[in-house]
Amino acid sequence: MKTSEKAVSGRPRVALVTGAAQGLGQGFATRLAKDKFHVIALDRVACVDTLAAIEAAGGKATDLCVDLSDPKAISDGVAKTLSHFGAVDVLVNNAGLIPNVEFEKIDLAQWRALMAVNLEAPFLLCQSVIPTMKSNGYGRIINVASNTVGLKIAGFVHYVASKGGLIGMTRALASEYGGFGITANAVAPGLTRTHGMMDPARRGPGGVTTDQEIAHMKTLQAIPRGGEVDDLVGAVSFLASDDSAFITGQTLVVDGGLWRI
């Protein structure tokens, strides 16, 4: 994939990926490093395995520990990145909480805690990097949403609300900043085989989903198998490149054809 020279100006091309310590975020960070970006791997814990994988493949990455529920930590982390690298060319808002709680049992503290990470943090990160993107006349914002926005699924009202809000924000950002060389798109994964999603301890009541639900979901997909991290990384790589320069405000659903729009 090619990336605009206008975005570089003699410095490294920089991609910031949240939730990069494992799972999809680790996959996105590793792929963007292969695409010759210097990756800022952001998570609330050290991204040791991610950096090791990137460096072993000859890529470049920097670890950035930030608690995305803390607005000041976000501001400080982005400021540190911009001070060192000069810009963030690609922002991938991937980090998110995925609890399964019956709607009537969600209390306000739980609602706010999820919104802080799933929706407020992407808002703050976009606000922090867009001014430099505007100055450079170039930027790629990629928000990781979810196909649950278009599905019948119980126990995820606050999660679905946050991802629906993220899609709406993506569309609005595309409208507001398309004239500045900035694109904003969303990727909506289906159920993907990651440690967080497939951990049996997180399934059933209070967890992500049950084994029976996972098996049933596969039968409804056009491609009847579980999603893998590698199924998603190409979509993010494409949206981060100049090959997607005329695509903005869109939601790319990558779920094996479960949600057909």
pLDDT in tens, 219-248: 888 888 888 889 999 999 999 999 999 999
pLDDT of residue 146: 92
**pLDDT by residue (tens digit) across 170-189?**
999 999 999 999 999 999 99
Report the alpha-carbon distance of residue 135 to residue 150 in Å, rounded.
36
pLDDT of residue 142: 98
112 CB-near residues (< 8 Å, 6+ apart): none
pLDDT of residue 162: 95
Give the rounded distance of the alpha carbon of 220 from its chain centre: 25
pLDDT of residue 206: 43
204 confidence band (pLDDT: 50, 70, 90): very low
User: Is 159 assigned a catalytic role?
Assistant: yes
pLDDT of residue 56: 95
Residue of 200 and 240 predicted with greater confidence = 240
- Whole-prediction pTM value? 0.90
> Which domains does the chain possess?
11-254 (3.40.50.720)
Beta bridge partners of 193: 228
**pLDDT of 257 strictly over 90:** no
Cα maximum dimension of the chain: 54
* 255-to-134, 146, 236 alpha-carbon distances in Å: 33, 9, 14
Task: Please pick, among 28, 138, 156, 159, the residue that the annotation labels catalytic.
Answer: 159
**pLDDT of 39 strictly over 70:** yes
**pLDDT of 126 strictly over 60:** yes
**End-to-end Cα separation, the chain, in angstroms:** 27
**pLDDT by residue (tens digit) across 51-110?**
999 999 999 999 999 999 999 999 999 999 999 999 999 999 999 998 888 999 999 999
Q: For residue 164, what is the DSSP state?
A: H
